Amino acid sequence: MTPVDYLPLLIMIVTAIIFAALALMVSALLGPRRPTHRKLMPYESGNIVSDTDPGRRRFPVKFYLIAMLFTIFDVEVAFFYPWAVVFRQLKVFGFQVMLLFVAVLLIGFFYLWKKGAFEWD
Protein backbone atom coordinates (compact mmCIF):
# COMPACT_ATOMS: atom_id res chain seq x y z
CA MET A 1 0.00 0.00 0.00
CA THR A 2 1.14 3.49 -0.75
CA PRO A 3 0.69 6.52 1.47
CA VAL A 4 -1.96 7.83 -0.95
CA ASP A 5 -4.17 4.87 0.01
CA TYR A 6 -4.36 6.26 3.54
CA LEU A 7 -5.64 9.67 2.38
CA PRO A 8 -9.35 8.91 3.01
CA LEU A 9 -8.49 7.79 6.54
CA LEU A 10 -6.50 10.97 7.16
CA ILE A 11 -9.38 13.10 5.84
CA MET A 12 -11.83 11.30 8.13
CA ILE A 13 -9.61 11.79 11.21
CA VAL A 14 -9.05 15.49 10.46
CA THR A 15 -12.78 15.99 9.85
CA ALA A 16 -13.64 14.28 13.15
CA ILE A 17 -11.14 16.42 15.09
CA ILE A 18 -12.41 19.63 13.48
CA PHE A 19 -16.04 18.66 14.16
CA ALA A 20 -15.33 17.82 17.81
CA ALA A 21 -13.40 21.05 18.38
CA LEU A 22 -16.11 23.08 16.66
CA ALA A 23 -18.88 21.44 18.73
CA LEU A 24 -17.00 22.18 21.96
CA MET A 25 -16.36 25.79 21.00
CA VAL A 26 -19.95 26.44 19.92
CA SER A 27 -21.38 24.93 23.10
CA ALA A 28 -18.93 26.93 25.24
CA LEU A 29 -19.81 30.17 23.47
CA LEU A 30 -23.59 29.74 23.13
CA GLY A 31 -24.37 27.52 26.12
CA PRO A 32 -26.20 28.95 29.13
CA ARG A 33 -24.17 29.91 32.17
CA ARG A 34 -26.23 30.05 35.34
CA PRO A 35 -23.94 28.94 38.15
CA THR A 36 -25.59 28.64 41.55
CA HIS A 37 -24.20 27.59 44.88
CA ARG A 38 -25.96 24.23 44.62
CA LYS A 39 -24.62 23.54 41.10
CA LEU A 40 -21.05 24.35 42.13
CA MET A 41 -21.08 21.97 45.11
CA PRO A 42 -19.12 18.73 44.72
CA TYR A 43 -21.37 15.71 44.16
CA GLU A 44 -20.19 12.28 45.23
CA SER A 45 -22.47 9.31 44.62
CA GLY A 46 -25.56 10.97 46.04
CA ASN A 47 -23.85 11.90 49.29
CA ILE A 48 -23.45 15.49 50.35
CA VAL A 49 -19.78 16.15 50.93
CA SER A 50 -18.92 17.84 54.21
CA ASP A 51 -15.66 19.13 55.61
CA THR A 52 -15.69 16.61 58.46
CA ASP A 53 -15.81 13.52 56.22
CA PRO A 54 -12.48 11.93 55.36
CA GLY A 55 -11.43 12.44 51.78
CA ARG A 56 -11.06 8.76 51.11
CA ARG A 57 -13.37 6.12 52.44
CA ARG A 58 -13.20 2.40 51.98
CA PHE A 59 -15.43 0.98 49.30
CA PRO A 60 -16.34 -2.68 49.14
CA VAL A 61 -14.30 -4.63 46.64
CA LYS A 62 -17.45 -6.52 45.61
CA PHE A 63 -18.65 -3.50 43.64
CA TYR A 64 -15.54 -3.48 41.46
CA LEU A 65 -15.55 -7.26 41.16
CA ILE A 66 -19.14 -7.30 39.88
CA ALA A 67 -18.33 -4.48 37.43
CA MET A 68 -15.30 -6.33 36.07
CA LEU A 69 -17.16 -9.61 35.76
CA PHE A 70 -20.03 -7.93 33.95
CA THR A 71 -17.58 -6.30 31.55
CA ILE A 72 -15.74 -9.56 30.89
CA PHE A 73 -18.88 -11.59 30.21
CA ASP A 74 -20.44 -8.77 28.21
CA VAL A 75 -17.40 -8.44 25.95
CA GLU A 76 -17.27 -12.18 25.44
CA VAL A 77 -20.78 -12.08 24.00
CA ALA A 78 -19.46 -9.73 21.31
CA PHE A 79 -17.44 -12.65 19.92
CA PHE A 80 -20.67 -14.39 18.94
CA TYR A 81 -21.54 -11.83 16.26
CA PRO A 82 -18.61 -12.43 13.85
CA TRP A 83 -19.00 -16.16 14.39
CA ALA A 84 -22.70 -15.97 13.49
CA VAL A 85 -21.92 -13.98 10.34
CA VAL A 86 -19.56 -16.66 8.95
CA PHE A 87 -21.29 -19.65 10.56
CA ARG A 88 -22.14 -21.38 7.27
CA GLN A 89 -18.59 -21.05 5.96
CA LEU A 90 -17.04 -22.51 9.12
CA LYS A 91 -19.20 -25.63 9.01
CA VAL A 92 -18.72 -28.24 11.76
CA PHE A 93 -15.26 -27.04 12.82
CA GLY A 94 -16.57 -23.55 13.58
CA PHE A 95 -19.44 -25.02 15.57
CA GLN A 96 -17.08 -27.19 17.61
CA VAL A 97 -14.75 -24.27 18.33
CA MET A 98 -17.69 -22.12 19.47
CA LEU A 99 -18.92 -24.97 21.70
CA LEU A 100 -15.46 -25.08 23.27
CA PHE A 101 -15.54 -21.29 23.73
CA VAL A 102 -18.97 -21.45 25.39
CA ALA A 103 -17.83 -24.35 27.57
CA VAL A 104 -14.85 -22.35 28.84
CA LEU A 105 -17.14 -19.40 29.52
CA LEU A 106 -19.62 -21.58 31.39
CA ILE A 107 -16.86 -23.22 33.45
CA GLY A 108 -15.64 -19.76 34.46
CA PHE A 109 -19.18 -18.60 35.16
CA PHE A 110 -20.07 -21.57 37.37
CA TYR A 111 -16.71 -21.36 39.17
CA LEU A 112 -17.40 -17.71 40.02
CA TRP A 113 -20.95 -18.56 41.02
CA LYS A 114 -19.75 -21.29 43.40
CA LYS A 115 -17.14 -18.93 44.88
CA GLY A 116 -19.92 -16.41 45.60
CA ALA A 117 -18.53 -13.69 43.34
CA PHE A 118 -22.02 -12.68 42.27
CA GLU A 119 -23.33 -12.25 45.82
CA TRP A 120 -23.88 -8.57 46.55
CA ASP A 121 -24.16 -8.66 50.36
Q: Considering only CA atoms, which of 115, 105, 120 is closest in space to residue 75? A: 105
pLDDT at res. 26? 96
Contact 73, 109 (CB under 8 A): yes
Contact 118, 66 (CB under 8 A): yes
112 C-beta neighbours (distance < 10 Å), count: 15
Residue 21 and residue 33: Cα distance in Å, rounded? 20
pLDDT at res. 28? 92
pLDDT at res. 50? 65
Under DSSP, the state recorded for 69 is H
Domains of the chain: 59-121 (1.20.58.1610)
pLDDT at res. 44? 65
Q: Per-block average pLDDT, block size 10, for the chain (121 residues)?
A: 90 97 95 84 67 65 83 86 90 92 92 86 70
pLDDT at res. 11? 96
pLDDT at res. 46? 64
